[in-house]
Chains A and B, each alone.
Chain A
Amino acid sequence: MEDFLYFFSFQDPNIRYVVVGSVLLAISAAIVGCFTFLKKRALIGDAVAHSVLPGVCLAFVVSGTKNPIYLIIGAFITGWLSLRFIDMIVRYSKLKEDTAIGLTLSVFFGLGILILTAIQHSGNANQSGLDQFLFGKAASLVGQDLIVFGSVSIILLLVVGLLFKELTLLAFDEQFGKAIGMPVKGLELVLTTLTVLAVVTGIQAVGVVLMAAMLITPAAAARFWTDKLTTMVFLAALFGAISGVSGAYISFVAPAMPTGPWIVLVISFIAMSSFFIAPRKGILYKQFQQRKYQKQILEENILKAFFHLGEADEQYYGHRKISDLISQRRFVMGRLKGGLQKLVRSGFLKQDREGWVLTEEGKNKGQRIVKLHRLWELYLTEYLRIAPDHVHDEAETIEHIITPEIEARLEKKLNYPSVDPHNETIPYR
């Protein structure tokens, strides 16, 4: 707890640096990730992330220092090369994109590991800490590193800000962009470069192995909350920032832990929660809606069964037993009982010792459903020329969906018919 308070009071300038750095890079990755996500090229980020490793190692071999500028240049070169390779393989061979991505990322990463282990075995005293690029260490993000990585992130954010409209068009409708004369090829190059830059800034805090998650996961999480791109980008940045801060905090309390995996766990937790609880798109919300519809359909089917029974013996307000209803339609017993209770509570049915009776409201509602069913059957036979023995199932589903407006139009279009294709009377009120 003490640690927690100390950390979040931001008194220590080192902590401030680390937090600012982690947040900046998490935000830039999240924002660029939104565009690659929408272009359905999310896994490209995975390839770039793995492919910067040989660049970082080669830059160290060539320069002999861990100066972040050299490392960034090295990372940028191999990251960018890997993307060119993927494009080349897809264009010039019969291999598919997923194979090209998997091949490139694993081979580049293998090359990186080969050089990294060779450096480690060479006994170069400078090399310690190079392996932190694998899984990240946010706490090592101070001084010069922060300035370099921070400025890359800021450049990246500026570019996205300036080209926001163009990138949006690229993500949603490339063909249209081409048609109105936008330099689509150039923009794609910009997006590629931005992806590489985002990965490059993230390697120190998150590490190359899990950097892909920083590109994909915030965007996927944000997508569940909104349909609007600006909101999505903003949310993704916010989710990224939260995970960045937690990564910095974990790096502070547990110095032995690699930060990358923790940042990824935090952002993944946010994403998983979003998948389930987000309104409208979330899995739980959808399930809840589905239940609601199922209940509504069941209740309407029960009222319809009452009405049919009433039609048969011309006693709409007669007493009915469960066996009567089941002879009319194959209800599941448990659900039927539940539905009946609910209908009594909402005033569509009354229950006494002899069974269930429709109220006036209940009769009207059942009657409307039957009317819609028969109107739709007639519409299908008249206008779509479907045989009368094929229209029942269609009508069975649509009767629960038709709104009063459509109902009025159907009546008008069919000129208030009196019987349906099976010669059953259409019951008007």
Chain B
Amino acid sequence: MEAIYIILAGSLVAVSCGLVGSYLILRKMAMVADAISHAVLPGIVIAFFISGSRDSLPMLLGAGALGIITTFLIEFFHKKGNLQTDASIGVTFTWLFALGVILISTFAGKVDLDQDCVLYGEIAYVPIDLWITDTGTIMGPRVLYISGSVLLVVIAFIFIGYKELFLTTFDPSYAAIIGINTTLWHYLLMGAVSLTTVASFESVGAILVVALLIAPPATAYLLTEDFKKMLIFTCIIGIIVSVLGYYLASYIDGSIAGAMSTVAGLIFLVVFLFSPTQGVVFRNRRSKLSMTLNEEPI
């Protein structure tokens, strides 16, 4: 039962991350996601400290606020200070993350949060951390409810805004012409990123959530040209990552989140090498084939 709870939690997190991540990698915003996932840390710690609990709402508010501040600061240094984008990202998220770690060390003992949790989460504790109602009924693991509802929100978001997200991702200028507010959808997507990051934070930590945001969609992207199929493949890969990650971690007795990112990386590597349309191996063979064809006299 324990294994099922953990795998289920991992799958829920991996699927919502992957769905949001699909849009991010197509919009060339992978590193912005990396920045946000690091930079929400001080917001989460402060929310922890003020509310004194792991209630999701204060955490969400804290992280959301920091997510907005991060995107704002990156833009601000880039536009007003003429700092190149990559450096602007690098400077902004590192100091916010540093601030978060320092806050954790300062409040150590006062908040139920430590550096390990930040780095690789506590998905192993999912089965222990139960949601018990005031009347004493045990409703099952709390994390399942949180990540489950976040996944529902993400799916609803993509379902409702599919056309808008699709167009603003692939052809922003056309989207603007037919009257879609590209800035609004940009910020809605950033909001979705912050939401999934916060929800995944407890389970897989701030850094490894990046692996779940990027690796499954990047793998799916190499398997298909069709965006809808890419979303479906991403979900399937997310679930495989969660299952295999759990068994790898229990086999070598290590962090489950670490194992999940490792598996995600391995799956990517396999697809990168052997994808039927994009893989390095087949591509080499194809280009050799076309070379021999070209050499024939016309």
On A, residues with C-beta under 8 Å from B are 37, 40-43, 45-46, 50, 89, 92-96, 98-99, 101-103, 105-118, 121-122, 134-135, 209-210, 212-213, 216-217, 219-220, 223-224, 256-258, 260-262, 264-265, 268, 271-272, 275, 281-283, 286
CB distance from B87 to the nearest CB of A (A): 5
* Nearest-Cβ distance from residue B74 to partner chain A, whole angstroms: 12
Q: Does B28 contact A (CB under 8 A)?
A: yes
Question: Residue A275 contacts which of B31, B83, B90, B120 (CB distance < 8 angstroms)?
Answer: B83
With A and B bound together, what is the CA distance between A68 and B105 in angstroms?
Answer: 27
Query: CB distance B98 to A265 under 8 Å?
Result: yes
Query: Looking at A105, A256, A281, which has the most chain B CB atoms within 10 Å of its CB?
Result: A105
Contact of B86 among A42, A223, A281, A282 (CB under 8 A): A42
Known pairs A114-B258, A220-B88, A260-B101 / 17 extra A-B pairs, C-beta < 8 Å: A37-B87, A40-B84, A93-B222, A96-B30, A99-B214, A102-B33, A103-B265, A106-B210, A106-B211, A107-B261, A110-B257, A110-B259, A110-B264, A121-B254, A122-B253, A210-B98, A217-B91
Give the shortest distance, in Å, between A287 (CB) and chain B (any CB). Answer: 8
Q: Cβ of B265 and Cβ of A107 under 8 Å apart?
A: yes
4 nearest CB pairs, A to B:
A110-B261, A107-B265, A114-B258, A268-B95
Q: Is B119 an interface residue (CB 8 A)?
A: yes
Q: Is B107 an interface residue (CB 8 A)?
A: no
**In the complex the two chains form, what is the Cα distance from A263 to B283 in whole Å?**
46
Contact with A102, one of B77, B210, B260 (Cβ below 8 angstroms): B210
Q: Which applies to chain B's interface (DSSP): helix, strand, loop or mixed? A: helix
- Using known A-B contacts A261-B98, A275-B81, determine if residue A92 contacts B280 with beta carbons closer than 8 Å: yes
How distant is A211 from chain B, measured CB to nearest CB, in Å?
9
Chain A residues positioned under 8 Å from B259 (CB to CB) = 110, 114
Q: Which residues of A are found within 8 Å of B29, using beta-carbon distances?
A: 98
Smallest CB separation, A12 vs chain B (Å): 24
How far is A284 from B94 in the complex, measured between Cα atoms in Å? 23
How many chain B residues touch the partner (CB < 8 A)? 60
Question: Which B residues lie at the A interface, using CB under 8 A?
Answer: 25, 28-31, 33-34, 77, 80-84, 86-91, 94-95, 97-99, 101-102, 105, 108, 115, 119-120, 207-208, 210-211, 213-215, 218, 221-222, 248-249, 252-255, 257-262, 264-265, 268, 272, 278, 280, 283
CB <8 Å contact, B268 and A103: yes
Q: How far is the CA of A37 from the CA of B86 in the complex (A)?
A: 9
Please tell me which one of the listed residues A105, A134, A258, A286 contacts residue B105 in the complex, with CB atoms under 8 A apart: A258
Contacts of A99 in B (CB 8 A): 25, 28, 30, 214, 218
Evaluate contact between A101 and B31: CB separation under 8 angstroms.
Answer: yes
Shortest beta-carbon distance from B226 to chain A in Å: 14
A98-B105 contact given A107-B261, A113-B119, A283-B81, CB 8 Å threshold: no
**Residues of B close to A96: CB separation below 8 A:** 25, 28, 30
- In whole angstroms, what is the CA distance A265 to B248 when docked? 37
Chain B residues closer than 8 Å to A89, beta-carbon distance: 272
B214 touches A106 (CB 8 A): yes
Minimum C-beta distance from A120 to chain B (A): 9
User: Is there contact, CB below 8 Å, between B91 and A111?
Assistant: no
Chain B residues within an 8 Å CB radius of A94 = 221-222, 278
